[in-house]
């Protein structure tokens, strides 16, 4: 075969690849389900916790790539110093999923404290238990803990199966999500005196109230 | 007269024209022929289309290399591959053996890998497919012999591919435990009593030490694997020698890490502050040096067993004088 023909063949195959890529993208397009209600409908009072909205830095809001977000401080009734910061953000294209504590906090100078990192199961009265990653990050004398989990909406069985395999990438790399997504982060600096029991209580209360907000077709993940 | 004298003197003192690196020289020589020019232009156009097709993969590579310390060596890998390709090119022009079928198969495999990644979230399929695509272009335009000669340079690119994080942690976690246990045995044996609970070591006085994921050896392992493979390629020794060298990346990385944890244990027992921040980083660099020294010792021992291969001009693999 002449060189020119080989060049034409190579270009043809790769051009075909680009067309096939567009076709497969179109054929396998998944719905990106919206939230059933706005995140703002999440109540200010969660059991013994009372919340207050906090403004979000404009730059952070833009970089989060979220369609909608919620940033609140919840204080435990009767214990004013015991507070948690709730940061939830939803993206209709799942773009927010590339932001995870493991990616974003080190870039802000926070170092992961492996000894504070574990996965816990939060028992709930009204539904299945939720796996949550508890992470610890330190900067100078400060240590903050984070409860983290996230949802992907609209992906099919194949994606869910593959996502559980060791060969799949995690959400934080942001190129494998074909649905929409919601991340939930609960921050609590260690000096607030909050223990694991209070945190579990807060997460359990939160899980009950976010259920009506989330689309039915969802999968839950916790590994950042 | 004067002008011609000056001119002659200039000619004599003028530096000899600089030789191009063999790879560039081959490209230049190819460009001078009409057929070669067509092949080069065709290959360049195909490379551009391949890059377009794998744009998300390339962006992913750069993102991981610049944010994940386990793969910060990724930026170097393409350059090292080019270096190997340049070494391979010094063996002169390659006989053109058409490999259209092989090229098409490799390109189709690359396409399938890319398309599969759209359907299922397995990024590594696309990452490896990109390398297959590169090999396909080489086979299509330069032929089977070229693929054979430049195969190592292409295969070396695999070290720039980030492992899926799940797989990474699946390997790293047991290594982390193994390093903790081995270090505690050595610390106890060398007179520093420690209590080992998983990855936690408790030193005398209640000083707690944690063997982090970064100390599991995986970070060093990925780097050492690339390094030993490069050294094995450059070493003019038999195949078994090279395989032993590559295989030794695992024990060398683990030994270096155990040594690091043991050293950190002793330092923490003396003064915990000395095992933090910059000191800890310096310690890490020292132990990387220790790992390299272990490799050097291994090479010295193996060199006593085996003689250097005599390079031949027809050898497909370059065999420099480096020992």
**A–B CB contacts, 8 A cutoff, strictly below:** 131
**pLDDT cut 70: percent of chain B above it:** 84
Residue B166: closest C-alpha in chain A: A166
Tokens standing for residue A141: 């004398």
Confidence label for B217 from pLDDT (cuts 50, 70 and 90): low
Give the whole-angstrom CA distance, residue A132 versus residue B210: 22
| Average pLDDT rounded to a whole number, residues B183-192 | 90
Report DSSP state, residue B210. E
Q: Which pLDDT score is estimated for B102?
A: 93
Which among A4-13, A60-69, B6-15, B230-239 has the top mean pLDDT? A4-13
| Averaged pLDDT for residues A65-92 | 90
- Per the prediction, chain B carries an average pLDDT of 80
Rg over alpha carbons for chain B, rounded to the nearest Å, is 25
Instruction: Outline where DSSP puts E strands in chain B.
Output: 195-197, 200-203, 207-210
Q: Which two tokens stand for residue A8?
A: 């034409």
Residues 6+ apart with CB under 8 A from B35: A3
Tokens of A55: 């403004």
Which tokens is A208 given? 């009950």
Q: Is B51 on the interface with A (CB under 8 A)?
A: no
Maximum mean pLDDT: which of A10-19, A152-161, A197-206, B214-223? A10-19
Whether the CB-CB separation of B123 and B143 falls below 8 Å is answered with no
Confidence band (pLDDT; 50, 70, 90) for A207?
very high
A29 CB-near residues (< 8 Å, 6+ apart)? none
B window 156-175, beta carbon within 8 A of A: 164-167, 170
Model confidence band, residue A167 (pLDDT cutoffs 50, 70, 90): low
Q: Which residues in chain A are closer than 8 Å to B165, comparing Cβ atoms?
A: 169-170, 173
Residue B49 scores a pLDDT above 80:
yes
- Average pLDDT for B193-197: 84
With bands split at pLDDT 50, 70 and 90, how would you rate the model's confidence at B172? confident
- Taking a C-beta distance cutoff of 8 angstroms, is the pair A181, A152 a contact? yes
What's the average model confidence in pLDDT over B250-265? 86
Contact A15, B49 (CB under 8 A): yes
- pLDDT at residue B317 in the model: 47
Range of weakest confidence among A79-83, A137-141, A191-195, B204-208:
A191-195
Q: Average the pLDDT over each of A212-216, B139-143, B150-154, B303-307 and give the range with the smallest value.
A: B303-307
Helix, strand, coil percent values for chain A (each to nearest 5)? 35, 30, 35
Asked if residue B134 has pLDDT above 70, the reply is yes
| Three-state SS at B216 | coil
pLDDT score recorded for residue B6: 43
Between A125 and B314, name the one with better pLDDT. A125
Residue predicted with more confidence, A73 or B288: A73
How far apart CA B195 and CA B288 sit, in angstroms, is 26
Mean pLDDT of B6-32: 70
State yes or no: pLDDT of B8 exceeds 80: no
**Percentage of the residues of chain A whose pLDDT score is greater than 90:** 37
Overall average pLDDT of the A7-29 stretch: 91
Contacts of B236 (CB under 8 A, 6+ apart): B308, B309, B310, B311, B319, B320, B321, B323
Enumerate residues 269 to 308 of chain B having a beta carbon within 8 A of any beta carbon in chain A: none
The DSSP 8-state label assigned to residue B208 in this structure reads: E
pLDDT at position B167 over 80: no
Partners of A73 in beta bridges: A52, A85
CA dihedral A195→A200→A206→A209, nearest 10 degrees, is -140
Q: Per residue in B38-48, pLDDT tens?
A: 889 999 999 99
Question: Are A7 and B49 inside 8 Å of each other by CB?
Answer: no
The residues with which A150 forms a beta bridge, in sequence order, are A183, A221
| Highest-scoring range by mean pLDDT, A34-48, A98-112, A183-197, B266-280 | A34-48
According to DSSP, residue A53 is labeled E
Closest residue in A to B117 (Cα) is: A176
Grouping H, G, I as helix, E, B as strand and the rest as coil, residue B114 is helix
Name B201's bridge partners: B196, B209
Helix boundaries (H) for B90-164: 100-119, 123-142, 144-155
Query: Quick check: B80 pLDDT over 50?
Result: yes
Q: What is the per-residue pLDDT for A174?
A: 44
Distance from CA of B218 to the nearest CA of A (A): 16
Q: Are strands A68-76 and A111-112 parallel, antiparallel or unpaired?
A: unpaired
ipTM, two decimals:
0.73
Provide the pLDDT for residue B310.
54
What mean pLDDT do residues B299-305 have? Answer: 85
Helix (H) or strand (E) segment spanning residue B35 = helix B34-53
């Amino acid at each position: 075969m002449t060189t020119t023909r080989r060049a034409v063949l190579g270009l043809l195959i790769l051009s075909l690849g680009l067309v096939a890529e567009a076709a497969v993208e179109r054929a396998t397009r998944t719905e990106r389900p919206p939230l059933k209600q706005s995140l703002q409908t999440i109540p200010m009072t969660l059991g013994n916790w009372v919340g207050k909205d906090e403004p979000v830095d404009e730059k952070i809001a833009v970089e989060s790539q979220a369609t909608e977000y919620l940033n609140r401080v919840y204080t435990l009734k009767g214990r004013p110093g015991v507070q948690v910061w709730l940061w939830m953000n939803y993206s209709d294209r799942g773009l927010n999923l590339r932001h995870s504590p493991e990616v974003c906090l080190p870039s802000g100078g926070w170092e992961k404290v492996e000894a504070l990192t574990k996965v816990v199961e939060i028992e709930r009265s009204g539904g299945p238990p939720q796996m949550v990653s508890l992470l610890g990050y330190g900067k100078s004398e400060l240590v903050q803990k984070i409860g983290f989990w996230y949802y992907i909406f609209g992906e099919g069985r194949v994606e869910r199966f593959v996502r559980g395999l060791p060969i799949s990438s995690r959400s934080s790399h942001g190129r494998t999500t074909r649905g929409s997504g919601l991340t939930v982060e609960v921050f609590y600096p260690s000096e607030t005196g909050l223990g694991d029991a209070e945190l579990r209580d807060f997460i359990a209360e939160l899980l009950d109230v976010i259920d009506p907000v989330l689309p039915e077709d969802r999968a839950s993940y916790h590994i950042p | 007269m004067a002008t011609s004298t000056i001119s002659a003197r200039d000619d004599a003192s003028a530096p000899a024209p600089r030789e191009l690196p063999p790879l560039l020289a081959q490209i230049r020589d190819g460009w001078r022929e009409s057929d070669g020019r067509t092949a080069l232009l065709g290959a360049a156009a195909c490379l551009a289309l391949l890059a377009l097709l794998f744009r998300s993969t390339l962006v992913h590579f750069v993102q991981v290399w610049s944010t994940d310390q386990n793969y910060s060596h990724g930026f170097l890998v393409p350059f090292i591959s080019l270096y190997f390709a340049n070494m391979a090119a010094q063996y002169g022009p390659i006989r053109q053996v058409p490999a259209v079928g092989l090229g098409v198969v490799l390109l189709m495999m690359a396409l399938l890998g890319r398309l599969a990644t759209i359907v299922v979230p397995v990024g590594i399929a696309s990452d490896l497919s990109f390398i297959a695509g590169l090999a396909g272009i080489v086979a299509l335009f330069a032929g089977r012999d070229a693929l054979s000669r430049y195969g190592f340079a292409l295969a070396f690119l695999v070290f720039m591919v980030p492992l899926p994080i799940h797989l990474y942690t699946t390997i790293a976690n047991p290594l982390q435990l193994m390093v903790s246990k081995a270090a505690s045995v050595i610390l106890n044996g060398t007179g520093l009593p420690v209590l080992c609970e998983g990855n936690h070591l408790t030193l005398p006085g209640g000083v707690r030490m944690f063997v982090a994921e970064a100390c599991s050896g995986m970070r060093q392992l990925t780097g050492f694997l690339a390094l030993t493979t490069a050294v094995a390629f450059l070493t003019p020794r038999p195949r078994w020698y090279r395989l032993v060298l590559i295989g030794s990346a695992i024990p060398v990385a683990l030994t270096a890490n155990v040594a690091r944890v043991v050293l950190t244990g002793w330092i923490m027992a003396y003064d915990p502050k000395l095992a933090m921040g910059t000191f800890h980083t310096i310690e890490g660099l020292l132990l990387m040096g220790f790992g390299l020294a272990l490799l050097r010792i291994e090479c010295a021992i193996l060199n006593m067993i085996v003689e250097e291969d005599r390079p031949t001009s027809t050898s497909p693999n370059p065999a420099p004088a480096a020992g």
